[in-house]
Amino acid sequence: MLAYVVWASVFSLPPLFLISWIFEGGWEQMSTSISSAPMTAWAGVFWQSWGNTVFGYAAWAWLLSKHPAAVVAPAPLLVPIFGMGASVYFLSEPLPLWKILAAALVIAGLIVNLFWPNLEKYFRKLGR
């Protein structure tokens, strides 16, 4: 799994560099942005590139070693919901009703997916 992440990261560098070159305005602007970035920005880059990747893939590999893929695979669908919650809590962003309904729909889908065997047994008992 780690080799895949490393190769995917290597192959993403050229297109990302080209996009930065086009939208940032060339090498001068890019080098100025890099050299004037505050330490908190570098800490964020380090955490996103190293901390999240190592923790995320280690947790994913551990879960896959303990549980079937069909049980583990739906879990990443919760990432945007936790992201919305974190942005509301830490950044005081608004949480409109449509986002709450979307999150509820995703969670309902996950509940049906994860607990379907038990739900199916329950509904069959009701039908008898």
Tens-place pLDDT, residues 49-93: 887 878 888 888 888 899 888 888 888 889 899 999 999 999 999
Tell me the DSSP string of 18-58: HHHHHHHTSHHHHHHHHHT--HHHHHHHHIIIIIHHHHHHH
Q: For residue 104, tell me if it sits in a domain.
A: yes
Q: Domain tally for the chain? A: 1
Q: For residue 84, tell me if it sits in a domain.
A: yes
Q: For residue 60, tell me if it sits in a domain.
A: no
Between these two residues, 94 and 119, which has the higher pLDDT value?
A: 94
Q: For residue 22, tell me if it sits in a domain.
A: no
Instruction: Quote the pLDDT of residue 77.
Output: 87
Q: For residue 120, tell me if it sits in a domain.
A: yes
DSSP 67: S
CA 23 to chain centre: 25
**Mean pLDDT, to the nearest integer, of 43-47?**
90
Q: Which of 110, 99, 45 is nearest to 71 (CA)?
A: 110
Q: For residue 5, tell me if it sits in a domain.
A: no
Q: For residue 8, tell me if it sits in a domain.
A: no
Q: Which of 59, 90, 51, 94 is nearest to 76 (CA)?
A: 59
Q: For residue 125, tell me if it sits in a domain.
A: yes
Task: Evaluate whether 63 touches 72 at the Cβ level (below 8 Å).
Answer: yes
Range of the domain at 108: 74-128
Q: Is 67 left (phi over 0), alpha (psi -120 to 50) or beta?
A: beta
Distance between first and last Cα of the chain: 47
Q: Global pTM?
A: 0.57
